[in-house]
Amino acid sequence: MRGLDPRIHVLLEPIRTKEGVDGRDKPGHDGFHVPERDMTHDDLKQTMIWAGKVLVDEGQDDFTRGHISVRVPGDPSRFYMKPHSIGLDEITMDNILTIGLDGNVVAGTAKRHSEVYIHSEIFKARADVACVLHTHPPYSIALSATGRPMKAYSQPGALFHDSLGLYDDTINLIRSPETGAGVARALGPRRAVLLKNHGVVVTGASIEEVVISTIMLENAAMIQMIAEAAGTPAPEFPLADIQKLKHDISRPEQFKVNFDYLVRRAKRRG
């Protein structure tokens, strides 16, 4: 499986558009905070398109399953979302849907994902979240099946220290507002939540942040599963050291730096 170097440092960046500010340019849940940048609606959709290609390159695809969404600039009651029946790497300007917080399609003709309520209910509960991603990465799912918490056995693991929830109400699809609300409750103020034996949901202030965080979560889960399979891991570093690292790798620029690198790499591959 491909993935980023576990030592990668990451930062957070919220979305500010020419049409309006997303309201998350101040610290929010889990410390989301970032410098401003201009982005049009089309820019945002293009970023979503490249996000899908990057996620497939990083092994986050599972047939046509998995979906990403981002709030519509200037209108936090609506969000853009990948449609049903296509792969993450098949998102286009024409097939992106616009959806309301009730889960109903506002604009677009493609079929909507039945798990839309993961996105709508999190957007309702978390005003600081601008982007939501759901995928089925194998190591993260394996970790969820163990019932064990994420450990800081790697630098990516430190990013999720005290910031990874667990949803264990059902293995089934999240196809109702009620189950979506359950996922939002399990997420709480955290960065991400494991859906037990199912997948992950990762949130953030920008598409770039969410994509890089998702890749790092899978790397952290992979390293933890390897370490625990090898025997009893040595104790983690002291809490203050882990918290300092978490702070350092949550500074505001590297999410975009690393996302842009992966986009350039995807473009070189054609």
Kindly name the residue from 13, 115, 208, 218 that is annotated as catalytic.
115
Distance of alpha carbon 207 from alpha carbon 79, whole angstroms: 12
Do 68 and 207 form a contact (C-beta atoms < 8 A)? yes
Distance of alpha carbon 201 from alpha carbon 232, whole angstroms: 28
**Can 115 be counted among the known catalytic residues?**
yes
Distance of alpha carbon 239 from alpha carbon 5, whole angstroms: 23
What letter would DSSP give residue 30?
G
Sign of CA dihedral 142, 48, 52, 3: negative
Residue located via tokens 């293995």: 171
E strands along the chain, which residues? 67-72, 75-81, 97-100, 105-107, 131-135, 164-167, 192-195, 199-204
Active-site annotation, residues? 115
